[in-house]
Structure 1
């Protein structure tokens, strides 16, 4: 078998046929197939697939009874909790549009987002009164109410849908055109934008990843609900559908999180939800539960690798590891491969504008996986590179360019932003703003964000290259590089560095000397600032805008 063929799933077609169904049908199919198997566990409480289906139907009917109609927006201002999947699927079964809002948003930012999405209902975990001032919100449903937030006609989450019918409401949804998600970009480089995703976008992306990860093809059950059937070799994909066990920390209000939730439902995974990341608690639960998969952003794996218990616990049950949201440093990838020599470790790439993702490295045993790359396009997905400075000319392999994507998971556009939509969607191709390289086998590497690239005296400088060199130093735990404005040079590379444990003596001169000895003069780091931590978003992406502000 050639190396090129090892980047495509063996025994699977190159193109899939996707059921034209709404997102709620994913849960309907999972409930029929997996029944009483535990879907989610949180703080000792659990929801089976059947229990989640019935609760979601009740929530959907309660929304309809409150006057929520097809196309109305329901905002979920929630952390990960059992109420989240109930409200998420319930919203979509009601024909409404799901709009996630991070509980970490400042009041004014939350107000702006709720205004932009036009939320009629807000499901929240805490006080939101100040953020609702001046908004036309009909109903506020509160999970875990307290004396502070159960006032002014607000409704307890459990009471809201307790007496509604557990049967799905009779709602007509056009999967190809009706919106399912109105998610918001991370805002790591500027103001967040609403991303319009149809039911078809969401269903397709969940099925793409479910099939890629399990050696399966789409199918429908006797009731017309979507499911997937494994057809790939059991030697290539060692986990059967309906047997996966995992711990989730990725926030469901993020594209990677809600995408993972849907994939887990389709594949029958059993998920234990952790509220916050405590490496020791994560490792203890991973060993106790016998988890089969691990997934998250590189920040998760960096913290685990720094935890002594992670290296001594019995984690032999882990068969697959996936990473996304940000590029994984090469040194971290090598460390994980050493810790899990028998597990398949795959990096993927995506963004909110493609529902969740567009590429993934092979998840099957014989697949060709290259350190520092994010794999190849999923089924029915295309990737091409165009010049960073602009234009639509496709670049040859091994040439740096802007990553453009085309596929059935690409968004319909930005909400109420026609100009910005036209800038990024050109003839069906999404201009991502990321700089990448496609090798001769079509494997994608992400070099950096287009907006993060520095220009020093006319030379392009990619922060990720410098960050890779920094984190390979024994005295550096993590690092981020941004540009400082310079009238003479344009931008000067500046590093923010977290010292590694036991290296408190590390200083600016030693770090600069070690890194700059490995790069040409125009790429040299000019300053090092030691910090306690690198600021990251809830999804694990470095907030470089915050670091730039520290230099102003």
Structure 2
């Protein structure tokens, strides 16, 4: 348990014993005429969002989808994602989001894995889904209209199982009654990113999602939520300086909603009565333009996104003063990026956190309040009702300052992997989640991530942590971003190799950079080679795909030996 705890923030919370659909329905009723979603000229108030989602729920029921059945949400970021997500939950079904860019093979694998019976797709992507669905459990594919954020030409159904959204969701039920679900029932089957192995569906329960929303709003808004005996959403405020403000927040969602970080951010925003704005295809120019034009107060992103914004000339000319808070996840922020963000967005609080799909989303974070204590390089502290331990390879608990694997426990920790009992048994142990991330904590309970356990290198018997080297590399004024991976060596084991991206207009001298880093680390920690690249491969969520960098090294090594 941390010895330091922020003032006026409860360590333990009371959680509504309702399903996701009931909680978000209560939010829609509370916030009524406030603008909920903006997608170009298409705007929905919370009352209109409720009406559209009710139509989806009625159509889901009419299609024979029962509570607990799985609905595949195959959509880009669009107003129709929000409508679909809420409607599926109102009907008591399970949401399994999937990237609209997923290839046919991957789509088919997910359909089969989760036994999806219904899918909601987009005109620009439905063709691959139709091909993938052939011969599976999928009975119906619904195609939403295009929008400003996700444009598409109107298409006619390409098979008998495909129907347009307007022809499908025809029944409007203003008094639709959300299906009452067991808190232990499934809410999501979200697939892990697969950056280090085979992607797996994480079994996220209704109570996991409701707990996560409750925790996030306590930690970043300063309010406790509850439902009264009539099912009305209530807020009990204990701080007034939070990053999120009920009925006043305007947020730009840039990251993909099929990823857990943006998905849970969307849920949090709906509960607070925020206005969610979709900017469409990402470019730093458009994001900065939307922040200025819409008066955005809150934005969530990843280090790669922040670096794109900081490198854009418009960051110096746009009025970004409306921005109240910037929340960062997916990967740790290096010192240089963090410093640059403070200069570029001086009025915004910077909230760095740590989360993972197996933890529903957020597990550790800097509190979202002005003046909250933060230590450079730390991802913060466990949010309410969340515990962590640092353990060695044998499962023994380690002390302050000792590096080991991060283990987590809390109400937001998921139920395991869908249809993978062996993997579940490996990572979900005795109520704890083994994260696979290397970390250490100081004596006050602030946590520092060293990197993935699978990313750790062993050089001549010594452990080398890439995160430390990446921090040093990006501290060079010519370096924009860096990733360190190991190259197999028969004598040393693994040799640290750095892939480095130069800042715009700058040049990286590999030999000089190697020498500079070598003066700041122990001999066994030295980077042995630097490869300058135009960009690092990243997932849609902004995580560096180190498996691709390793594959590049392996291929080069193979070609050298075979040549």
TM category (shorter chain) comes to: over 0.9
What does 1:398-409 align with in structure 2 at a 5 Å threshold? 398-409=401-412
Within 1, Cα distance between the matches of 2:324 and 2:178?
41
Counterpart in the other structure of 2:111: 114
- 1:153 pairs with 2:161: yes
Within 2, Cα distance between the matches of 1:453 and 1:55?
48
SS for the counterpart of 2:117 is: strand
Structure 2's unaligned 5+ residue stretches are 146-152, 555-563
What does 1:331-410 align with in structure 2 at a 5 Å threshold? 331-387=336-392, 389-391=393-395, 393-410=396-413
2:279·2:290 contact (CA, 8 Å) conserved in 1? Answer: no
SS for the counterpart of 1:115 is: helix
Deviations 1:440-483 (A, max 9, x none): 11111111001111111111111111111111112211111111
What does 1:192-211 align with in structure 2 at a 5 Å threshold? 192-211=199-218
1:80·1:251 contact (CA, 8 Å) conserved in 2? Answer: yes
Counterpart in the other structure of 1:258: 263
Counterpart in the other structure of 1:292: 297
SS for the counterpart of 1:413 is: coil
Within 2, Cα distance between the matches of 1:95 and 1:71?
6
Within 1, Cα distance between the matches of 2:535 and 2:68?
42
Within 2, Cα distance between the matches of 1:189 and 1:29?
39
- 1:487 pairs with 2:494: no
Structure 1's unaligned 5+ residue stretches are none
What does 1:497-512 align with in structure 2 at a 5 Å threshold? 497-504=500-507, 506-512=508-514
Counterpart in the other structure of 2:520: 518
- 1:411 maps to which of 414, 423, 436: 414
| Residue range with higher mean Cα deviation, 129-138 or 94-103 | 129-138
1:27·1:53 contact (CA, 8 Å) conserved in 2? Answer: no
| Residue range with higher mean Cα deviation, 127-136 or 257-266 | 127-136
- 1:531 maps to which of 501, 523, 533: 533
Counterpart in the other structure of 2:423: 420
1:58·1:163 contact (CA, 8 Å) conserved in 2? Answer: yes
2:458·2:494 contact (CA, 8 Å) conserved in 1? Answer: yes
- 1:85 pairs with 2:82: yes
Question: Measured at CA, do residues 50 and 170 of structure 1 come closer, stay the same or move farther in structure 2, by a change above 3 Å?
Answer: closer
| Residue range with higher mean Cα deviation, 199-208 or 289-298 | 289-298
Deviations 1:49-68 (A, max 9, x none): 11111111110110111100
Counterpart in the other structure of 2:179: 171
Per-residue deviation, 1:343: 2.7
Within 1, Cα distance between the matches of 2:232 and 2:441?
37
Within 2, Cα distance between the matches of 1:540 and 1:250?
8
2:19·2:181 contact (CA, 8 Å) conserved in 1? Answer: yes
- 1:134 pairs with 2:160: no
SS for the counterpart of 2:369 is: coil
Within 1, Cα distance between the matches of 2:512 and 2:506?
12
2:288·2:315 contact (CA, 8 Å) conserved in 1? Answer: yes
SS for the counterpart of 2:16 is: coil
1:353·1:411 contact (CA, 8 Å) conserved in 2? Answer: yes
- 1:190 maps to which of 172, 193, 197: 197
1:220·1:226 contact (CA, 8 Å) conserved in 2? Answer: yes
Deviations 1:220-261 (A, max 9, x none): 2462244433222x3x43763110112110111001011100
- 1:20 maps to which of 17, 21, 38: 17
2:365·2:380 contact (CA, 8 Å) conserved in 1? Answer: yes
Question: Measured at CA, do residues 226 and 431 of structure 1 come closer, stay the same or move farther in structure 2, by a change above 3 Å?
Answer: farther
- 1:475 maps to which of 470, 474, 478: 478
| Residue range with higher mean Cα deviation, 410-419 or 153-162 | 153-162
Within 1, Cα distance between the matches of 2:67 and 2:367?
39
Per-residue deviation, 1:212: 1.1
| Residue range with higher mean Cα deviation, 246-255 or 212-221 | 212-221
Per-residue deviation, 1:15: 0.8
Question: Measured at CA, do residues 340 and 171 of structure 1 come closer, stay the same or move farther in structure 2, by a change above 3 Å?
Answer: closer
Per-residue deviation, 1:149: 5.3
Counterpart in the other structure of 2:433: 430
Within 2, Cα distance between the matches of 1:319 and 1:209?
17
TM-score (norm 2): 0.93
Give the aligned length. Answer: 542
1:385·1:402 contact (CA, 8 Å) conserved in 2? Answer: yes
2:21·2:92 contact (CA, 8 Å) conserved in 1? Answer: no
Tell me the C-alpha RMSD between the 2 structures: 1.7
Counterpart in the other structure of 1:243: 248
Per-residue deviation, 1:153: 3.2
TM-score (norm 1): 0.95
1:100·1:253 contact (CA, 8 Å) conserved in 2? Answer: yes
Within 1, Cα distance between the matches of 2:510 and 2:108?
42
Within 2, Cα distance between the matches of 1:107 and 1:530?
34
Within 2, Cα distance between the matches of 1:54 and 1:271?
17
Question: Measured at CA, do residues 200 and 239 of structure 1 come closer, stay the same or move farther in structure 2, by a change above 3 Å?
Answer: closer
Question: Measured at CA, do residues 149 and 443 of structure 1 come closer, stay the same or move farther in structure 2, by a change above 3 Å?
Answer: farther
1:61·1:169 contact (CA, 8 Å) conserved in 2? Answer: no
Counterpart in the other structure of 2:148: none
Per-residue deviation, 1:522: 1.2
1:400·1:436 contact (CA, 8 Å) conserved in 2? Answer: yes
1:58·1:167 contact (CA, 8 Å) conserved in 2? Answer: no
1:150·1:156 contact (CA, 8 Å) conserved in 2? Answer: no
SS for the counterpart of 2:167 is: helix
Deviations 1:134-169 (A, max 9, x none): 312111111237447543330112321122434324
SS for the counterpart of 2:362 is: coil
Within 1, Cα distance between the matches of 2:243 and 2:80?
32
Question: Measured at CA, do residues 224 and 309 of structure 1 come closer, stay the same or move farther in structure 2, by a change above 3 Å?
Answer: same
| Residue range with higher mean Cα deviation, 141-150 or 214-223 | 141-150
- 1:34 pairs with 2:31: yes
